[in-house]
Amino acid sequence: MATVATLLNVVGGRGVEGERTFTKVSPVDGSLVAQVHEASGETVDAAVRAARDALSGPWGRLRTVDRAALLRRVARTVEERAEEFVAAEVADTGKPLELARRLDVARAVANFDHAADFVYGTERQESYSTETGDGRRALNYAYRKPMGVVAVIVPWNLPLLLLTWKVAPALAAGNTVVVKPSELTPSSATLLAEAMAEAGVPDGVVNVVHGFGPGSTGEYLTSHPGIDAITFTGESATGSAIMTAAAPNLTPVSFELGGKNAALVFTDTDLGRAVRGTARSVFTNAGQVCLCTERVYVQRPIFDEFVAGLTDEALALVPGRPDDPRTGIGPLISREHRAKVRSYCELAIKEGATVHAGAEPILFGNELDQGAFFPPTIWTGLGRDAVTVTDEVFGPVCHVAPFDTEEEAVALANGSEYGLAATVWTGDVDRAHRVAPALDVGLAWVNSWWLRDLRSPFGGNGRSGLGREGGRAAADFYSHPTNVCIEIGPR
Ligand code: NAD
Ligand code: 6OD
């Protein structure tokens, strides 16, 4: 029998029990993964104080060059303990081992390496030689300082990737953090705190509090007056709740939220590449990536061929155990989430969809039937206002619709309250440069999907987010400038 972990909160380097515990079960077969200690209001308060104290301790006195070296050591420690991270991530999410290795853990390492490279960027200074109309002269310079204690709240879909995407730049800028992982994926955050301590990160710099959102740890943290900034990734509705909780303290927020991302496929594309790329963008991580495509628009002459190709790709993805090398798609995160995805499938059919693949839960005839598997699903035939074409489903599903002109394609893609990501498949370079900037999204890919340069700005428009992170945008969010103006005598 697999071991059941006991996960404590991590406050000032110490494991702290909660008054209550909750269970984490595997989405593969429903088995018990962990008993998790929920952080009370007092524990959250202690975590914020520990993070505040750490700012004036050895961490706050580290030279920039040493902070970079420390972040690099964290990257190496995660790399050395990669298989432990893979195991933690797979236990919580049920995703294929290979995916956890190649994507989640590899990106955690890259996030820390990138943060080490970028430490100096967080301290960049701007300066101006000033001469006013009445002849006074001054030197203005602005330098950036850490915000202080940053609350980091992350979802369950890419727990370690998204956590490190935020923790690494927050630390690079000199902050300390209190982290709240999703109640559905508590394991890798706890392991990360341990690995960071092993790498030499001082106690109190990274604190982990477990629990839920409203009326629990998440709400205690986001309404805490000792928090200097909140970075959050999750649902748009949760973003609104956090903004409300943050408002009395005027705490700055950075939000990466939901999406209903479009792919536009033009007749001038390499069809095979577009089909394979779209399949990847729809079904990766069982469709549970904020960047996943859920709306596909295909130019009419290639519509039928595209749908047939995408259906073949969907049917070739074998659901199964994380450690089975044949597994092409893992389970959804929970049976509750599967019920939501399934209800959208039922609704799509009521709304008049034709189903080309999937739509019904899979039956294995073994213990996997206690899991949360759902097959790759493709619909056609819905109107642009159908609920399943406008709502984010966050599962391995997409709707494919035809279009005739480029203008129509852009209008369809932009006809969403969300504005996170889009993909354009075309062989025409002029079209690529016309269409991609016309899309009302934070991230537009051409002939690719989720190809990342960690220096580039990441985030969404409308209901998809507030602000950007990554590179310079992260430096701006995780630090604030003090401008110094020194008057210089007359010439
Ligand atoms: P969620 O919003 O339900 O939960 C995210 C985190 O917020 C969890 O840790 C949860 O416990 C916490 N939380 C919930 N309510 C809270 C509250 N009132 N106050 C404080 N914390 C609260 O999201 P989820 O279901 O875990 O993740 C799926 C969603 O995340 C999807 O909508 C997806 O699109 C989005 N997402 C967006 C991005 C992006 O970069 N834009 C990335 C990943 C996921
Ligand atoms: O690639 C990234 O940096 C990133 N933040 C991805 C988010 C994926 C959402 O599920």
Domains annotated on the chain, with CATH: 5-257+464-483 (3.40.605.10), 261-453 (3.40.309.10)
**How far is residue 146's CA from residue 475's CA, in Å, rounded to a whole number?**
9
Encode 4-28: b = buried (16+ Cβ within 10 Å), e = exposed: ebebbbbbbbeebebeeebebbbbb
Return the number of other C-beta atoms located less than 10 Å from residue 292's C-beta.
Answer: 29
- The residue to which tokens 């990847």 are assigned: 280
Please provide the DSSP assignment of 287-298 as one string: G-STT-EEEEEE
Contact 353, 399 (CB under 8 A): yes
User: 119 pLDDT band (50/70/90 cuts)?
Assistant: confident
Q: Residue 336: pLDDT above 80?
A: yes
Ligand lying nearest the CA atom of residue 233: 1
The structure tokens listed for 180 are: 């709240």
What is the rounded average pLDDT for all residues in the chain?
A: 96
Q: Mean pLDDT over residues 3-21, rounded?
A: 95
Residue with the smallest CA separation from ligand 2 atom 4 is 162
Q: Render pLDDT for 15-36 as a digit per residue (tens, 0 to 9).
A: 999 999 999 999 999 999 999 9
Please determine, for residue 115, whether its predicted confidence score (pLDDT) is greater than 70: yes
Substitution site in 238, 290, 461 for ligand 1 pocket (most atoms within 8 Å of beta carbon): 238
Which of the ligands is closest to the CA of residue 92? 1
CB of 156 closer than 8 Å to CB of 184: yes
Determine the pLDDT at residue 125.
73
**Residue 83 bears catalytic tag:** no
3-class DSSP state of 143: strand
Please choose, from the candidates 276, 269, 315, 316, the residue with its C-alpha nearest in 3D space to the C-alpha of residue 293: 276
Q: pLDDT tens digits, residue range 138-181?
A: 999 988 899 999 999 999 999 999 999 999 999 999 999 999 99
Mean pLDDT confidence for 359-381: 95
Mean pLDDT within 102-125: 88
pLDDT above 60 (res 1): no
Per-residue model confidence as pLDDT tens digits over 212-254: 999 999 999 999 999 999 999 999 999 999 999 999 999 999 9
For residue 256, report the distance from its CA to the centre of ligand 1, in Å: 9
Ligand 2 center–CA 256 separation, angstroms? 9
Expressed in percent and rounded to 5, the helix, strand and coil fractions of the chain are 40, 25, 35
Question: For this structure, is 398 an active site residue?
Answer: no
Probe ligand 2: pick from 235, 418, 458, max atoms within 8 Å of CB? 458
Ligand lying closest to the C-alpha of residue 180: 1
